[in-house]
A and B are shown apart, each in its own frame.
Chain A
Amino acid sequence: MSEENRAMQIDLSRFRETFFQEAAEHLAEMEAGLLRLEQNSFDPELLNAIFRAAHSIKGAAGMFGLEDVARFTHALESLLDGMRAGTITVTPEHSDVLLRANDVLRELLAAAADGTASPARMEAVLGELYVAQRSSPERADSPGRVREQDRKSGRRQYRVHFRPAAEIFAQGMDPLLVLRDLAQIGEPAEVEIDLASLPALASLDPEQCHLAWNVRVLTGKTEQEIRDIFAFVEDGAEIRIQVESAGTEPAAAPVATPAAAAQQTPANAREASIRVATSKVDKLIDLVGELVIAQSMAKEIADHFSTPRLSQLQEAVAVMERHIRELQERVMSVRMLPIGHIFGRFPRLVRDVSVQLGKDVRLQIAGEDTELDKSVVEQMGDPLTHLIRNAIDHGIESPEDRRRSGKPEQGLIRLAASHQAGSVIVEVSDDGGGLDTDAIRRKALERGLIGASDSLSEDQVRELIFAPGFSTAPAVSDLSGRGVGMDVVKRNVAALNGSVSLASEPGRGTTVRISLPLTLAILDGLLLKVGSETYVLPLVAIVESIRPAAGQVRLVAGRGEVALVRGEALPLLRLHGLFGIPTQVQDPCQGLTVIIEHGGQRFALLVDELLGQQQVVIKSLEANYRKVEGVLGATILGDGRAALILDVGGLSQVARRAGSVGLAA
Chain B
Amino acid sequence: MQAVGPDKSQAGNAGEASQFLTFSLGAEEYGIEILKVQEIKGYSAITHIPNAPPHVKGVMNLRGTVVPVVDLRAKFSMEAVEYTKFTVIIVVTVNEKVAGLVVDAVSDVLNISSAEIRPAPDFGERVDTRFISGMAGVGEKLVVLLDMDRLLTEEEVAAQSGAN
Contact = CB atoms under 8 A, between A and B. Distances in A.
A643 B46 CA distance: 9
Nearest to B50: A579
Given A579-B51, A620-B66, A636-B64, A626 B45 contact: no
A644 interface: yes
B97 A624 contact: yes
A624 B98 contact: yes
Interface in A613-658: 619-621, 623-631, 634, 636, 640-644
Nearest to A575: B50
A581 interface: yes
B159 A626 contact: yes
Contact of A627 (B67, B99, B163): B163
A533 B45 CA distance: 11
A534 B47 CA distance: 8
A579 B68 CA distance: 17
Interface string A580-599: 11000000000000000000
A624 B47 contact: no
Contacts of B66: 619-621, 623-625, 634, 636, 642
Contacts of B99: 624
Given A619-B66, A629-B163, A641 B45 contact: yes
Given A640-B61, A642-B59, A642-B61, A580 B50 contact: yes
Contacts of A621: 59, 66
B50 A630 contact: yes
Interface in B48-66: 48-52, 56, 58-61, 64-66
Interface core residue of A581, A625, A628, A641 (most chain B CB under 10 Å)? A625
A578 interface: yes
Interface string B66-103: 11100000000000000000000000000001110000
Interface residues on B, range: 20 to 34
B160 interface: yes
B156 interface: yes
Contacts of A579: 48, 50-51
Interface core residue of B45, B50, B68, B160 (most chain A CB under 10 Å)? B50
Nearest to A634: B66
Interface string A499-542: 00000000000000000000000000000000001100000000
Nearest to B68: A625
Interface string A298-314: 00000000000000000
A127 B51 CA distance: 54
B50 A578 contact: yes
A328 to B, nearest CB: 10
A660 to B, nearest CB: 21
A628 B56 CA distance: 13
Contacts of B49: 625, 628, 631, 644
A614 B30 CA distance: 43
Contacts of B60: 642
Interface of B: 44-45, 47-52, 56, 58-61, 64-68, 97-99, 156, 159-160, 163
Given A629-B51, A636-B64, 4 more contacts: A620-B66, A621-B59, A626-B159, A629-B163
20 contacts: A534-B47, A578-B50, A579-B50, A580-B50, A580-B51, A623-B97, A624-B68, A625-B66, A626-B156, A628-B50, A628-B51, A629-B51, A630-B50, A631-B49, A636-B61, A640-B44, A640-B61, A641-B45, A642-B45, A644-B50
